[in-house]
Structure 1
C-alpha cells in the first residue's frame, strides 16, 4: 500500500502536533546536560526541517534508518527563529520501497529534466555559429553517461537548485543571463561565454550523489566540481583538433574562475570579460533562486524569512506591484496549443545552509 502524505513541511507551524511521514536524510548523536540526544533532518518534496529526539526517548534508538521513509510523531517549535521538531516517536515505514510514492519525498524541478536538456541542446545549436564549438557541445551533451547524470543531478547539496533537475535548471538560466549580458557588450566573445555557461557546473554531476541525501561523493569531497568538470571535458578538448588552442585555454579559464574568488574555491580569479560575466551570472542565478525558495515557502501571513547564515541576513517578502487588468479574448478568438503540459507544482526546499565546498 502506498504511503500517503497529509501535510508538507512548509505547512507546519510552531505549536503544531505532528504525525507524518518524511525521509530521514541525516542523523547524528550529541550529548546534552540531561543525556544523549539525536539531531535529525527530515525531508519531503517541498522542504526540509531539523528535529531533535531528547533523552530519555533518544536512548530507545541505538541507531536510526537514514535514507528511509519514517513516521514521526511530536510537536513543532521555534528554536533561534528556525522551525524545529521535538520528536517523541520515530519508526521506519514498512511499506515496500516500490510501493512508496517517492514524488512526495524527493524535491524535483518544476520542469522535466528531459525537456530542459533538449532545450539546452537547441540553444547551443541556435546560438553557436562556430562549427567546432557546435560539434564540441553536441558530442558532450549526447554522451550517454554525461546525459544520464545531467538528467538527475541537483544544482547543489542544500543551497540553490538543490533538487532533481536543479543542475539543468541552473545551467539554462546562467546561459540565458550570459547571452543577455553579452548583448549589452558587443566586444564580448558570445560563443565561448555560452559554452562556458553550458559546462561551468558540469562537475556537479560527479560531485554530488543524486540520491535521497544528495551527499558529496568521494571525488566531490577530494576534488570539487570545478576540477571534476575540467577532467570530464579534457578528453573532448584533446580530440577536437578544429578548436584553436587559444579557445580551449579560454574555456578552461572560464570554468576555473567562475566562483570568482579564492575564498569560494575558485582556482583562478576571472581575468577576461567573459569570465567576469560568467561569474556574476552564476552567482546572480544562485542567489535569486535561494531567495525565491525561501520567500515562497513562507506562510501567507509571514513577511520575513528565518535568518540565513549563508548570506548573513533575513529576506523580506515585499508587496508586489499590481498587474494591469487585461480583457480575456472572446471564446471564438482563442486558440490553444494542443499537448501543452503544465509543470507548475510546489516543491522547493525551505532552508539554505552553507555547503562545505563554497557557493555558486
Structure 2
C-alpha cells in the first residue's frame, strides 16, 4: 500500500513538485519528441482535471509499454512538477523518467474513492428513509405497491443511494439522485397542498419514479460516467421501461393509472428539445417536469455560488449566466486576498 496525503488539482501551483494519485480521463498516442518518445494523459480528481506529459527515453517500445499499461478510469501515481503550458496558459504536470519522475498505475488499496468522486453533504440514509416515508404515505394501494416494489428492493436501494443525478450538471455526487429526488418529492407535496385539484398520490409517485432510469445510466468508479445503455437510450426511456415492466407484473393494476405514471416519467424533461419524447399532458405530469427543472437549476446555481472563491460581487458561467453574490446566504465564505 502506498501511503500519501492527497493534494488536489485545484490546489496545485506553478513549480510545485508532486507525487500524487489521480484518475485517468483519457490518453493520447505515443509520439516522437526531440529527445525520445512521449505521450499525454488527462488526469483528474474531484476538484478538476489537467494534462500530464510523460517524456520518455529514445526507446519507443519501452514508452509504449508504459502507455499501454494505463487505461481510462485507472488510478495512477504521478510524480513530477507543475508548470504552465505557454500555448494555452493552463497548468499541467510534467512527468520525466530521466529525473526519476513518472507515471504508474496503482491499486484500490492505495487511494480513497472520495478523492475522486465527492459524496452528498447530506445524510444519504436519512434522505432515503424520508423517501420511504413518502412512499408509505401514498393512500392509493396500487401506486403504493408500485413504489414499494422498487424502493423496498435491496438491490435497487443500494444502486439508487450511490447513483449521482448527473455527470457534470446538478447533483453530480454520490447520493445525488437521492438528494435530487427527495427535493422534488418534497416540493410536489407542498404543491399538492397549494393546488388541491392535483392528485397527490399520483404526483408523489411520479416524482419518486421520474429519474429511476439513471441507475442504469450512470456508473461510479473513479469518476462518474455513462454506461453504454445509458448513452444509447437515456434515462427517460430506461426508467419508463422499468416502470412499465413492474406494472405489467402486478395483477389488477389499473390500465389508465399505469399509462399516467409512465407518461410522467417520459415527459419529465418538459419539452422535446430538452430530451422528453413527449410533453406533459395532464397537471401532475406538468408539475413534476417543472419542479424537476427548477430543482436542477437551483442546485447548479447554489453549488456554483458555494464554490466561487472571489471577493467580487458577481461571477459568470456560460451555462448559468451572471450571478449576483453580494450578501448571499449560499455564497461560500472566502478569506480576504492579499
Q: What residue number does 1:188 align with?
A: 198
- Superposition pairs of residues 220-259 of structure 1, within 5 angstroms: 220-259=230-269
1:30–1:39 CA contact under 8 A, matched in 2: no
Q: What residue number does 1:107 align with?
A: 118
> Which of 151, 156, 162 is 2:161 aligned to?
151
Q: What residue number does 1:62 align with?
A: 67
Q: Shift in Å at residue 38 of structure 1?
A: 3.0
Structure with bigger gyration radius: 2
Q: Alpha carbons of 1:272 and 1:10: their partners in 2 closer, same or farther (altered >3 Å)?
A: farther
Q: What residue number does 1:351 align with?
A: none
CA distance in 2 between counterparts of 1:303 and 1:240 reads: 56
1:133 aligns with 2:143: yes
Q: Alpha carbons of 1:98 and 1:56: their partners in 2 closer, same or farther (altered >3 Å)?
A: closer
Q: What residue number does 2:289 align with?
A: 279
Q: What residue number does 1:19 align with?
A: 18
More helix by percentage: 2
Q: Shift in Å at residue 258 of structure 1?
A: 0.6
Q: Which has the higher contact order (CA 8 A, sep 6+)?
A: 1
CA distance in 2 between counterparts of 1:184 and 1:273 reads: 13
TM-score by length of 1: 0.75
> Which of 260, 264, 271 is 1:261 aligned to?
271
Q: What residue number does 1:290 align with?
A: 300
CA RMSD of aligned residues (A): 3.3
Q: Alpha carbons of 1:79 and 1:201: their partners in 2 closer, same or farther (altered >3 Å)?
A: farther
Q: Alpha carbons of 1:298 and 1:25: their partners in 2 closer, same or farther (altered >3 Å)?
A: farther
CA distance in 2 between counterparts of 1:131 and 1:122 reads: 15
Q: Deviations over 1:124-161 (max 9, x none)?
A: 223x1222222221121112331221122111122221
Q: Shift in Å at residue 251 of structure 1?
A: 0.9
Q: What residue number does 1:88 align with?
A: 94
Q: Shift in Å at residue 177 of structure 1?
A: 1.7
CA distance in 2 between counterparts of 1:78 and 1:272 reads: 55
TM-score by length of 2: 0.79
2:164–2:176 CA contact under 8 A, matched in 1: yes
CA distance in 2 between counterparts of 1:321 and 1:213 reads: 31
Q: What residue number does 1:352 align with?
A: none
The answer to which of 298-307 and 136-145 deviates more is 298-307
CA distance in 2 between counterparts of 1:208 and 1:192 reads: 26
Q: Deviations over 1:253-291 (max 9, x none)?
A: 110111112122211011212122111111111112222
Q: Alpha carbons of 1:283 and 1:80: their partners in 2 closer, same or farther (altered >3 Å)?
A: farther
Structure 1: 5+ residue runs without aligned partners?
Answer: 323-360
1:316 aligns with 2:323: yes
1:161–1:167 CA contact under 8 A, matched in 2: yes
CA distance in 2 between counterparts of 1:86 and 1:227 reads: 40
Q: Deviations over 1:225-274 (max 9, x none)?
A: 11111222223212334442221111111101111121222110112121
CA distance in 2 between counterparts of 1:204 and 1:137 reads: 16
Q: Shift in Å at residue 3 of structure 1?
A: 4.0
2:272–2:279 CA contact under 8 A, matched in 1: yes
CA distance in 2 between counterparts of 1:210 and 1:31 reads: 29
Q: What residue number does 1:346 align with?
A: none
Q: What SS class does the counterpart of residue 209 from structure 1 fall into?
A: strand
CA distance in 2 between counterparts of 1:314 and 1:268 reads: 28
1:74–1:85 CA contact under 8 A, matched in 2: no
Q: Shift in Å at residue 188 of structure 1?
A: 1.2
CA distance in 2 between counterparts of 1:68 and 1:258 reads: 35
CA distance in 1 between counterparts of 2:284 and 2:94 reads: 54
2:116–2:223 CA contact under 8 A, matched in 1: no
Q: Shift in Å at residue 218 of structure 1?
A: 1.9
- Superposition pairs of residues 319-358 of structure 1, within 5 angstroms: 319-320=326-327
CA distance in 2 between counterparts of 1:77 and 1:168 reads: 40
2:163–2:174 CA contact under 8 A, matched in 1: yes
